[in-house]
């Protein structure tokens, strides 16, 4: 029996098809260009061919778009359900206000949680999230704009800095404005992670998301990069 897992993020739609032992047998990711419902309509034939027994959905896109998505999926005659944040889930308790906790962030925590460990889970997506989990008890965390949003805010908020290129490849001091901007932004997040790790030395560091490889190389503490956290969280929530 196969199951289909949908992740509707701020910029991308991702899906995985898993078999009866939860091995991934098909997957894809597409930019939705702020039109996820339209993109999903174009994928319904593909989902029909995959013929899953169930579709589990994580969406951060809001009630209006989720209603459109539900309408598209209803034509497939395949059972589907959206994830909701459960602060009292059997695998993970949280001190966070449930209505304020993004479902993608919560699923990353659910995908990582190990009741035998203290963990610091860092999500490197459109926002950078840092969350502390103590033996399956979510203590709370921090949210930052990611490196690209920080750069965009700096460029739009200043008249003297106008840079169209540059790379986030170092945290050494820059000797040009482009280098100083990119390295300063990178250092702001790297420094935050290192400081949190210093304050919580017994917490295992876990990093996930598209920018994880950029940030990880500058972190002073051992860490694990896990690209499967959201998928693992989806499977744990429904199964």
Residues forming the active site: 104
Q: 3-state DSSP call for residue 187?
A: helix
Positive or negative, the Cα torsion across 189, 206, 226, 86?
negative
Nearest by Cα to 165 from 154, 184, 183, 178: 178
CA–CA gap between residue 62 and residue 70 (Å, rounded): 12
Write out the two tokens for 212: 């994880």
CA–CA gap between residue 161 and residue 6 (Å, rounded): 39
User: In the 8-state DSSP scheme, what is residue 228?
Assistant: T
């Amino acid at each position: 029996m196969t199951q289909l897992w949908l992740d509707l993020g701020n910029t991308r739609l991702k899906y995985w098809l898993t078999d009866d032992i939860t091995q991934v047998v098909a997957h894809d990711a597409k930019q939705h260009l702020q039109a996820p419902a339209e993109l999903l309509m174009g994928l319904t034939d593909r989902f029909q061919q995959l013929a899953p027994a169930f579709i589990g959905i994580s969406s951060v896109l809001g009630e209006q778009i989720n209603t459109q998505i539900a309408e598209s999926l209803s034509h497939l005659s395949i059972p589907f359900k959206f994830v909701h944040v459960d602060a009292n889930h059997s695998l993970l308790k949280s001190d966070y206000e449930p209505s304020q906790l993004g479902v993608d962030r919560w699923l990353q925590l659910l995908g990582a949680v190990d009741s035998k460990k203290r963990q610091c889970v860092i999500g490197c997506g459109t926002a950078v999230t840092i969350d502390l989990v103590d033996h399956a008890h979510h203590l709370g965390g921090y949210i930052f704009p990611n490196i690209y949003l920080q750069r965009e805010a700096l460029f739009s908020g200043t008249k003297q800095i106008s840079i169209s290129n540059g790379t986030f490849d170092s945290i050494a001091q820059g000797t040009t404005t482009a280098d100083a901007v990119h390295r300063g932004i990178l250092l702001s997040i790297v420094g935050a992670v290192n400081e949190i790790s210093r304050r919580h030395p017994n917490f295992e560091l876990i990093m996930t998301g598209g920018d994880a490889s950029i940030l990880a190389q500058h972190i002073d503490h051992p860490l694990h990069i896990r690209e499967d956290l959201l998928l693992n969280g989806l499977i744990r929530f429904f199964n």
